[in-house]
């Protein structure tokens, strides 16, 4: 038997870069102490056997086809996950052969969600295989009893060996497979411990081939790093069809499922859940959850913003606190929004309205724990800062949306009708929006006043409560410098 030749390299556990010698810091990603020794075979006598073992999974020989000749059979029709909120994030439900990654912080509720999904699918007369790589069957049974799940048609398979998992999938032919978690699965033919770059890459690749070949939906549970990214190589996120992040504060009962990649639907969609003693329950109308009775009054420093998460309008409250600083450099704190966006809005207010925040501490918070990424929240942030600084308030039952430009103009935004409908449904009386370039496609005004503006000065004139005048020593300037 010929001896297999090997060579030693050092592989980064973060970016998968390979180096011929050990370095304290990876030159590719810049992380320290992430290089791990790895032996690579220079010749693979059984490479053809390995290729054959992967190829036999496919039921028919692959060949080039015209796109118009490809037929969609009934086997490829979407089926519901049992959670309408999850179906919204996925784009309509699961597709046979879909390969989806769920990531989230420890203790956020990933395993609870997977078990509840498994029971919902099982209730639809489908078979589920739950591969437990981190828990024993008894632990899963205890969680199922706490959640009130029967466990019918759910097969629990405690295994971490990828070869045995593949054999079990081929023998049982389930409709849905849950891998909890991908970091616990390993290939015995590879060196290294479970969870390193090589193991995750190889196991994820084999599971992807099995999902497409057998047309079985596979859900992966992935751990996240302290930076919030899924642990392992970035190739893992490129391999899967969808990447969903389970977000929320560990000590609060609100959970948000956010789509950052979806080959079968829209990205940036969110699903909102509440977690309790009986597991996760859906929140059909998140706006009601994020708003309180005081939100309709609009206290100084408070503004209601109509933001979009994918195709879903959500009304959230933005609160600001502005006060004299006791530090040489004033503090800027933002919870739920990008701090650089806050700095830009402050700069516009100082330059275009003549306000001075150089000696003011500023704290901005998005109530409810949701994170806003849409620039349409700019106008609401600006008005909350102004009202907090001068102890005035926005008119009651007013909703705001608009992106602020560097010249002080309020730029157009999308989904006007959806924002107006959501505000009207929740009982608001007026909504302030940027002026559109074209008329709305359909009439949505019934009991709500729609106010269109072009600049910050117009927004101030329409939004501020005139019963609480501004201090006399303050002078606001328009965009052209006139008081």
Q: What are phi and psi of 419, to 5 degrees?
A: -65, -45
pLDDT digits 0-9 by tens, 226-269: 666 676 667 788 889 999 998 886 667 888 898 889 998 888 78
Query: What mean pLDDT value characterizes the chain?
Result: 83
Residue spans of alpha helices (H) in 100-241:
110-123, 137-147, 162-172, 197-214, 235-239
pLDDT in tens, 5-57: 677 888 787 777 778 888 888 887 788 887 877 776 654 444 434 444 444 45
| pLDDT digits 0-9 by tens, 287-333 | 887 887 677 777 899 999 999 887 889 999 999 999 999 888 999 99
Q: Which of 271, 291, 267 is nearest to 280 (CA)?
A: 271
Q: What's the confidence (pLDDT) of residue 62?
A: 62
**In the chain, pLDDT over 70 holds for what percent of residues?**
84
pLDDT score for 441:
43
Helix, strand, or coil (residue 4): coil
pLDDT at 469: 47
What is residue 354's DSSP assignment? -
109-132 average pLDDT score: 93
Mean pLDDT of the 352-370 span: 90
Determine which of 149-163, 427-441, 458-472 has the lowest per-residue pLDDT on average. 458-472
Percent of the chain scored above 90 by pLDDT? Answer: 40
Which pLDDT score is estimated for 405?
93
Q: Which CA distances in Å does 138 have to 75, 86, 129, 142, 364?
A: 34, 27, 16, 6, 46
pLDDT in tens, 440-456: 444 445 578 899 999 99
CB 286 within 8 A of CB 371: no
pLDDT of residue 268: 74
């Amino acid at each position: 038997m010929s001896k297999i030749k090997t060579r030693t390299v050092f592989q980064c556990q973060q970016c998968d870069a390979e180096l011929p010698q050990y370095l304290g810091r990876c030159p590719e990603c810049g992380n320290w102490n992430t290089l791990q020794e790895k032996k690579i075979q220079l010749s693979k006598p059984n490479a053809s056997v390995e290729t054959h073992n992967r190829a036999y999974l496919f039921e028919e020989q692959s060949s080039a086809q015209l796109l118009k000749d490809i037929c969609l059979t009934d086997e490829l029709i979407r089926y519901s996950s049992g959670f309408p909120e999850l179906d919204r994030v996925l784009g309509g439900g699961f597709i046979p052969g879909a390969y989806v990654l769920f990531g989230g912080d420890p203790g956020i509720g990933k395993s609870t969600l997977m078990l509840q999904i498994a029971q919902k699918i099982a209730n639809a007369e489908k078979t589920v295989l739950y591969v437990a790589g981190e828990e024993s069957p008894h632990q899963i049974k205890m969680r199922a009893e706490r959640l009130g799940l029967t466990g019918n048609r759910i097969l629990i398979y405690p295994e971490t060996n990828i070869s045995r998992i593949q054999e079990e999938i081929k023998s049982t032919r389930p409709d849905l497979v849950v891998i909890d978690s991908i970091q616990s699965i390993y290939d015995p033919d590879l060196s290294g411990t479970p969870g390193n770059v090589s193991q995750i890459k190889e196991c994820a690749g084999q599971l992807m081939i099995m999902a497409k070949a057998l047309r079985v939906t596979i859900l992966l549970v992935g751990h996240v790093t302290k930076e919030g990214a899924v642990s392992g190589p970035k190739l893992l996120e490129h391999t899967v069809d969808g990447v969903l992040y389970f977000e929320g504060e560990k000590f609060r009962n609100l959970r948000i499922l956010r789509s950052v990649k979806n080959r079968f639907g829209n990205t940036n969609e969110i699903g909102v859940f509440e977690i309790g003693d009986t597991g996760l329950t859906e929140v059909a109308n998140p706006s009601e959850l994020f708003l309180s009775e005081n939100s309709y009054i609009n206290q100084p420093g408070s503004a209601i913003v109509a933001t979009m998460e994918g195709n879903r309008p959500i009304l959230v409250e933005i609160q600001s606190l502005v006060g004299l600083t006791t530090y040489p450099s004033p503090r800027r704190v933002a919870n739920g929004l990008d701090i650089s966006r806050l700095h830009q809005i402050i700069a516009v207010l100082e330059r275009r309205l003549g306000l001075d925040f150089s000696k003011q501490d500023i704290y901005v918070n998005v109530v409810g724990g949701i994170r806003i990424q849409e620039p349409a929240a700019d106008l609401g942030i600006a008005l909350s800062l102004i009202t907090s600084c001068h102890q005035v308030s926005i008119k009651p039952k007013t909703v705001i949306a608009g992106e602020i430009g560097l010249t002080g103009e309020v730029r157009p935004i999308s989904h006007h009708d959806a924002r107006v409908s959501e505000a009207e449904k929740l009982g608001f009386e007026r909504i302030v929006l940027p002026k559109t370039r074209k008329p709305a496609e359909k009439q949505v005004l019934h009991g709500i006043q729609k106010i269109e503006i072009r600049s910050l000065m117009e927004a101030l004139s329409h939004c501020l409560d005139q019963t609480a005048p501004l201090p006399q020593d303050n002078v606001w300037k328009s965009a052209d410098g006139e008081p």
